[in-house]
Amino acid sequence: MIVLPAMRRVLMASLLLLALPAGFGCDAGGGGTHGVADALDAPDAADAPAGDTVDDTAQPDVGPVCPGGLSCPCTLFTDCNTGLCVETIERFQCAYQCGMGQICPRAWGCTPITAGGETIYGCVPLQPDLCRPCRTDDDCLPLTGADGQDWLCIDRGATGRFCGSPCKRNEDCPDAPVAFECASVQKAAGVETLQCVPTGGECPCTEKYAQNRFLTSCYAENGFGRCTGQRTCDEPCDARTPAAETCNGIDDDCNGDTDEGLAAVPCKVTNSWGSCPGTATCNAGGLGACEGTPAALESCNGLDDNCDGQTDEGFPDTDHDGIADCIDPDIDGDGIPNALDDCPSAYNPDQANNDAAEEAVGAKVGDACDTDDDNDGIPDSADNCPFVKNVDQLDTDGDGIGDACDCDADGDGVPNAAPLDMLGHTCPTPVPRDNCPLVKNADQADADGDGIGDACDCDVDGDGVMNNNPGCPAITTPDNCRTVWNPDQANLDGDSFGDVCDCDIDNDGVGNTNPGCPLPDPPDNCATIQNPTQVDTDADGKGDACDCDIDGDGVPNNNPGCPACGGAGQPACDNCPLVKNPGQERVLGGTMGDACNPDWDGDGILNAVDNCPRLANADQRDTDLDGKGDLCDCDIDGDGFGNPGIDPTGAACPVPAHLDNCPTIANPTQADFDHDGIGDACDCDIDGDGDPNPNFGCPNPSVQDCNDFDATVHHGATEICGNGKDDDCQPNLAGCAL
């Protein structure tokens, strides 16, 4: 039994993560039976065993009436109408009595309590510290009722550790302020037990836990290590973020050691001569003094005395090998010791000496340091053949190499023989040898095949007509085709090129094929007759200017170089030279053939616009406006009834089944009242009574029929009285009594 002065079971019980819902009644909450339902139903409350819970039953959700009402905050029993102030996961709040048919909510137990000398049963949370921040399992033990069960401080990783509570099923765990479940957790290595834990994995931070500032251990972890700290449920972890160890007197990576494993830091030992490298080590959270060899004045000793990155700087080093000459056994670096080198200060590993035979014993000077290697009196620096004597210094191709030692004296890429030095070295034997050794001619052209290149041949084509070339006699009128044989020197256009080598023989601006000419595309189709337009009507490859049959119809036409036509005893000339017409049709007269006559009928209207191109009709009359002139329209009025004649092509019109009885005026009914073969639409006497009537194409009659469609009524008829007609076309029915 729990007596009122020792109310820890009541006042300090805490429901982990569960607070009674607002308006919670005696049977409010959810959950199943827990073994004492029958006892709680008994009328004597003393019969109810302590510490058990019973099933909840649904009750109306009625809000608390504070202060004093169920679920209202409290600090003493007297604050509550029921006399019960119990500790929950969220705070101290007013609870209610149980027994006598009243049951406790899920995860609450009906517990006997002695208050004022009287024992009553009250609903008390079974897990008042569930989800409390903790550091050890002891933080989670209830003051009473531990009963040897597992009350674990559960590790939640970096965020900390929070209290669980023992359970056997989900119904043993509260469902407020968040849902809890009964889950297996690790108690020790390889040992697990069941504990109430939040279903969502995160414990709530309740008002009670925040106000009491319950602490839990937490940590921050990364690749550098793990640092531990502590936190309350409403504050973040105060653990330091692990970092790489630096010299600062702090255990940066939280491994228990401070400033460990740090390498010495490079530094400089500096004085008036310079700065030399040294090192400084970490000591008591800071770098110690820089230690190393100090700088000194540079001397020729093979060392970098002043630590400026250079050794023996300022001292001569001929071969730039980093070893000053003062200590270098091979000053020029050619592999020959100074004592044996014929040029100790000039690189010459071959010890070459072109004029060695002319030098006195003991006075040998190698080519690398000899100022006149061929002994011709011209210093090497100015000599264009420094190893071959050539006082004349001739240099035909101006390449800086004298002819005496130039393997290609004219610089045309074709070699010739020449000595290279005084020791007998010569140019490779050329195959073939340059056919103009002193005149540049890379192509080695030899038009007449006489072994003398065109560049230096005085008669390049061998036609007996001389040309000017280097070394040849001057010619006033040289060969006009120097590389093409043409002793006649023919020149059609009178320019400086003979016809056999002229790239434009007729000088019309269109090239032709000739030796040495660029390939024209296409070539001149009249090579000897000017025709810059290159018109070729029949596309036979011969331009119109020189084609004997321009249109290719087999009928000749006059042109330069062509057989004559059109004269006595000569074939007739093409009457359409630019239009193919092998039949030479000229049925419409004129001097030109029909194929090229722009006005066949000679009516002044061009064929392209003439509506009767084969019949003269200067008026271009077109009654039915169908584009065909009346003169060549097979249905002039367009009423569907034909008329005789010819069509625009000159063909005869088809014979109609019924000839139009009014060919120039549309009358699709072909009405003919008097059956005279002339339709009513154009008949000048429709009823055939001799009296004319006005009509299309008819003269205007001076005396007009008074009834066009009655043959008995006309001016020559006798008036018949009583028939209702004006038989004689006279007014007032003349001759009849009124």
pLDDT at 594 over 70: yes
Per-residue confidence band for 510, with pLDDT thresholds at 50, 70 and 90: very high
Per-residue confidence band for 62, with pLDDT thresholds at 50, 70 and 90: low
pLDDT confidence of residue 83: 85
Q: What is the mean pLDDT of residues 312-329?
A: 88
Q: Please state, in angstroms and as integers, the Cα–Cα distance from residue 141 to each residue in 9, 145, 192, following that order.
A: 12, 9, 18
Per-residue confidence band for 6, with pLDDT thresholds at 50, 70 and 90: very low
Residue 123: name the closest of 84, 92, 91, 89 by CA. Answer: 84
Q: Please enumerate in sequence order all residues whose Cβ is within 8 A of that of 256, keeping only pairs 6 or more positions apart, or say none.
A: none
The region of weakest confidence among 14-28, 308-322, 655-669, 715-729 is 14-28
pLDDT at 31 over 90: no
Cβ atoms 663, 637 nearer than 8 A: yes
Q: What is the pTM of this model?
A: 0.38
DSSP states along 49-111: PTTB-------------TTTSTT-B-SSGGGSTTS-EEE-SS-EEE--B-BTTB-PPTTEEEE
pLDDT at 733 over 60: no
Q: Which residues pair with 269 in a beta bridge?
A: 276
What's the CA gap between 335 and 354, in Å, rounded? Answer: 20
Which of 163-167, 470-474, 604-608 holds the top average pLDDT? 163-167
Cβ atoms 501, 515 nearer than 8 A: yes
pLDDT confidence of residue 598: 85
pLDDT in tens, 292-311: 999 999 888 888 899 998 88
The DSSP symbol for 253 reads T
Q: Please state, in angstroms and as integers, the Cα–Cα distance from residue 30 to each residue in 56, 70, 97, 519, following that order.
A: 5, 17, 17, 108
Per-residue confidence band for 28, with pLDDT thresholds at 50, 70 and 90: very low
Domain boundaries, the chain: 1-214, 671-738
Torsion of CA 61, 67, 71, 75, to 10 degrees: 180
Q: Please enumerate in sequence order all residues whose Cβ is within 8 A of that of 672, keeping only pairs 6 or more positions apart, or say none.
A: 661, 678, 679, 680, 683
pLDDT in tens, 97-143: 887 777 888 888 888 877 667 788 889 898 999 999 999 999 999 88
Q: What is the mean pLDDT of residues 588-609?
A: 82
Q: What is the mean pLDDT of residues 230-240?
A: 95
Residue 11: name the closest of 85, 116, 95, 120 by CA. Answer: 85
What's the CA gap between 489 and 410, in Å, rounded? Answer: 32
pLDDT confidence of residue 689: 87
Per-residue confidence band for 590, with pLDDT thresholds at 50, 70 and 90: low
Per-residue confidence band for 82, with pLDDT thresholds at 50, 70 and 90: confident
Per-residue confidence band for 737, with pLDDT thresholds at 50, 70 and 90: low
Q: Which residue has the tokens 């001619």?
A: 441
pLDDT at 167 over 90: yes
Which of 163-167, 430-434, 458-462, 653-657 holds the top average pLDDT? 163-167
Average pLDDT of the chain to the nearest whole number: 84
More confident residue, 44 or 542: 542
Which of 225-239, 337-351, 490-504, 723-737 holds the top average pLDDT? 225-239
pLDDT confidence of residue 354: 87
DSSP states along 658-672: S--SSTTS--TT---
pLDDT at 655 over 70: yes
pLDDT confidence of residue 213: 95
The region of weakest confidence among 137-146, 461-470, 639-648, 655-664 is 137-146
pLDDT confidence of residue 210: 94
pLDDT in tens, 192-218: 999 999 999 899 999 999 999 999 999
pLDDT in tens, 250-292: 999 999 999 898 989 999 999 999 999 999 999 888 888 898 9
pLDDT at 52 over 90: no
What's the CA gap between 140 and 214, in Å, rounded? Answer: 11
pLDDT at 436 over 50: yes
DSSP states along 99-121: BTTB-PPTTEEEEEEEETTEEEE
Phi first, then psi: give them for residue 417, nearest 5 degrees.
Answer: -75, 140
pLDDT in tens, 180-194: 999 999 998 889 999
pLDDT at 650 over 90: no
pLDDT confidence of residue 10: 41
pLDDT confidence of residue 340: 87
Give me the percent of the chain exceeding a pLDDT of 90: 38
pLDDT confidence of residue 237: 95
